[in-house]
Chains A and B, each alone.
Chain A
Amino acid sequence: QVQLVQSGAEVKTPGASVKVSCKASGYTFTSYVIHWVRQAPGQRLEWMGWIDAGNGDTKYSQRFQGRVTIARDTSASTVYMDLSSLRSEDTAVYYCARANGGYYHALNYWGQGTLVTVSS
């Protein structure tokens, strides 16, 4: 069965970077797009970007442009999301999610979420 398993919770200080991983299993890794979506406490879902796991193409939300990098390791069936210059407003649960097709398709599988806390 399809599974997306994310790395564990992180606590970071302002200005630092965080790298969250998302290991995929149960399907052909390179055939799908993976998105990153975050949710601050009590807030809505916020799209950050996607990566085509096949060719490595990426697209980022303008809101995070310059601070976020999404990459993949096909040999490990893993996608990584790197967010730099962290501030307190980046405290959120970060989810990876697999699209059921191209980048504009529904997100039919989600990781369990990774809580990133930014605090001095």
Chain B
Amino acid sequence: QSVLTQPPSVSGAPGQRVTISCTGSSSNIGTVYDVHWYQQLPGTAPKLLISGNNNRPSGVPDRFSGSKSGTSASLAITGLQAEDEADYYCHSYDSSLGAVIFGGGTKLTVL
């Protein structure tokens, strides 16, 4: 069981907008620690998608955006494309555990 809770799956049609939530607590997302998001295509290493809650690394399309509010964070993907079909993970730090934590992952299916 993950400290950060994500929906197991989400889906959307091409061109649509989807959001993936990441729910934590007052000892992780609800603190000063940022939330980061990764995309993992089948059989490959995770790739950083969003850092520091809402910053896109160079090369990441602006269709991807992140936000954080209270003890939750969200990843939004607009203009859904077939190549967005992947697993997505949120990541933060838990001050009570003194540990890096990942969400359980969300599988995005493009219909």
B101 x A108 contact (CB < 8 A): no
Q: Is B18 an interface residue (CB 8 A)?
A: no
Output the least CB separation between B98 and chain A (Å): 7
Q: How many residues of chain A are within 8 Å of chain B by beta carbon?
A: 23
In Å, the complex CA distance between A82 and B48 comes to: 25
Q: How far is the CA of A59 from the CA of B103 in the complex (A)?
A: 20
Give the residue name and chain of the B residue nearest to A108 (CB): B48
Give B6's nearest chain A residue, CB to CB: A44
User: How many of B's residues come within 8 Å of A, CB to CB?
Assistant: 26
Q: Interface readout for A30-46 with B: 1 if CB under 8 Å, 0 if not? A: 00000101000000111
Q: Once A and B bind, how many residue pairs between them come within 8 Å at the CB atom?
A: 62
Contact between B34 and A45, CB atoms less than 8 A apart: no
Binary CB contact string for chain B from 55 to 76 against chain A (1 if under 8 A, 0 otherwise): 0010000000000000000000
B36 lies within 8 A of A44 (CB): no
Q: Could you pull out 10 A-B pairs where Cβ atoms are within 8 angstroms?
A: A44-B2, A44-B103, A45-B38, A47-B99, A62-B97, A105-B36, A107-B91, A108-B48, A110-B45, A113-B45
Give me the interface of B with A, judged by CB distance under 8 Å. 2, 33-34, 36, 38, 40, 45-48, 51-52, 57, 89, 91-93, 97-105
